[in-house]
Amino acid sequence: MKLFLDSSVLLAAAGSADGASRFLFLNAAAQGWRLLSSPYCVDETVRNLRKLGPKATAYWRASLSLHLILVPIELAFDKVLVFPKAKDRPVLLSALGADADALLTLDEADFQRVIGAQIYGLQVRSPGQFLMEQRAAGLI
């Protein structure tokens, strides 16, 4: 399963050892999850890591960044797509372009409330929602 992680999830994974975002990284190999992101999301993550302190930055460099598969930044899409947040459009388009199964984000206001739980087959979930669905399906 291919999971596209936006910068909010990357930051949460770096900053908190106990959250759902970190769980994704710790269990990706065992669950067969491929963790995808784009240079656009990674750049935003790196710019904001200092706000979380030196431990988050060190953990990002030593562990998290090594587990990501970077996919190209997509700026166009061949289907109708109305998405008002210009800064988040490359995130959504990159997830769609990578043929990800799910876009995981903590930014519900800009993603889930605008586009809903799915768009063109791409599930849009928070890490916690995704993990609860996986557990309910007996997959974890």
Average pLDDT over residues 22-32: 95
Residues 6+ apart with CB under 8 A from 10: 21, 37, 41, 42, 45, 60, 64, 68
Three-state SS annotation for 84-124: CCCCCHHHHHHHHHCCCCEEECCCCCCCHHHHCCEECCEEE
pLDDT digits (tens, 9 = 90+) for 45-72: 999 999 999 999 999 988 887 889 998 7
d(CA 4, CA 51): 23
Please name every residue paired with 3 in a beta bridge, in sequence order, or none if there are none: 35, 102
Of all helices (H) and strands (E), which one includes residue 5? strand 2-5
pLDDT digits (tens, 9 = 90+) for 70-109: 987 665 555 545 555 556 778 888 898 899 999 999 887 5
- Arch. (CATH architecture) of 2-136: 3-Layer(aba) Sandwich (3.40)
Q: What does DSSP assign to residue 18?
A: S
Write down the residue that tokens 């460099």 correspond to.
61
What are the residue boundaries of the structural domains of the chain, listed by start?
2-136
Give the per-residue pLDDT at 87: 64
Give the β-pairing of 102-104 and 69-70: unpaired
